[in-house]
Amino acid sequence: MKVKRNTLMLLACLVWSAAGFNILRIGLMAYPAYLTVLNCLLSILVFAVFQRFIFGKLVKKHIRRINTYPEERHFFLKFFDRKSFAIMAGMMAGGIALRAGRLVPERFIAVFYTGLGASLLLAGLLFGRNYSKAVSAAATVPNQTEH
């Protein structure tokens, strides 16, 4: 199924936001027993590191890549490249293994998942913001087929 170029940003928004929301939810559900100033600061640090060095850069990279596609319509999974799909699959498998195997303490889940989930959710929202900008820009360009 092929979709418009801008729709790829909307799909990325939905996928990243859903993943971020779910991870954030898991972290927040574990947080009440570990709610301290230090843990909150650690969650903020996790958020900042992931946003600055990973997800913020990935959002910019994918927006740039999507915007440079010469064709208007693309296969709907092209909102990511293969490397990003592999990263997402690895992160999901690792996260499931950590929790299912009880390989880390619940405090780690609370602190790390809250920061990671918030960063992923923000990345999804940034895709959504770029989608909105693209749709607004397209709406202000006069239709050239009318002339």
* Structural domain spans, the chain: 2-136
Cα–Cα distance, 23 to 109 (Å, whole number):
10
Cα–Cα distance, 120 to 132 (Å, whole number):
19
Percent of the chain at pLDDT > 90 equals 69
Render pLDDT for 33-63 as a digit per residue (tens, 0 to 9).
999 999 999 999 999 999 999 999 999 999 9
Are the beta carbons of 26 and 117 closer than 8 angstroms? yes
State residue 147's pLDDT score.
Answer: 45
State residue 146's pLDDT score.
Answer: 47
Among 24-28, 93-97, 115-119, the minimum mean pLDDT is found in: 93-97
